[in-house]
Structure 1
Amino acid sequence: MKVEVVLAWPRRFQAVTLELPDGATVAEAIARSGLDTAGTIGAAVHGVRAAPTQPLRDGDRVELLRPLLADPKEQRRRRAGRK
């Protein structure tokens, strides 16, 4: 099966397409991708948080998650306060 592993930053990204055996997990895909996982806090499959043991299906997109730089609620409060 084919899966894609993606690591994104604000202005660039890295994507690796892998051919994995059926039943491969999120953790196996990340390990085989060769991407630098330093600073990541987890993974998602098609935007939904995923456990490392979650099995993958053909065509899945595994996204490596980074910590938020700012709290979204606080950012909204600041924008609303300026108006």
Structure 2
Amino acid sequence: MADALLPVQVCYALPERQLCIDLQVALGSTIADAVALAMPDIDLTRHRVGIFARLKTPETTLRAHDRIEIYRPLVADPKDARRRRARKET
């Protein structure tokens, strides 16, 4: 069973579309391994990652049927944006 493969999916949402790539990775593979295979241009030092909407580290070991999500950096701080909207409403 040393060469067992796990089915996983790597997803990345852009403003205009969503990319989801299905992969088969080796048992013991990490999030970083799967992202490197699916989207080698993604820099994991700039993007956070998760599995099914739960933040994880790139070193997290994968399990069968994991959906790896790559999160884009925020354009604005959500707290500041809420404060600006609240000031406009008053």
Which TM class, normalised by the smaller chain length?
0.7 to 0.9
1:37 corresponds to = 42
Cα distance change, pair 47–21 in 1 and its aligned pair in 2 (3 A): same
Choose which of 1, 4, 7 in structure 2 pairs with 1:2.
7
Contact 1:24 1:55 in 2 (8 A): yes
- Distance in 2 (CA, whole Å) between partners of 1:59 and 1:38 is 23
Moved over 4 A (4+): none
TM-score, length of structure 1 as denominator length:
0.86
Pairwise mapping of residues 44-59 of structure 1 onto structure 2 (< 5 A)? 44-59=50-65
Tell which structure's C-alpha radius of gyration is larger. 2
- Alignment gaps of 5+ in structure 1: none
**Kindly, what percent of the aligned residue pairs are identical?**
36
Pairwise mapping of residues 1-83 of structure 1 onto structure 2 (< 5 A)? 1-38=6-43, 40-83=46-89
TM-score, length of structure 2 as denominator length:
0.80
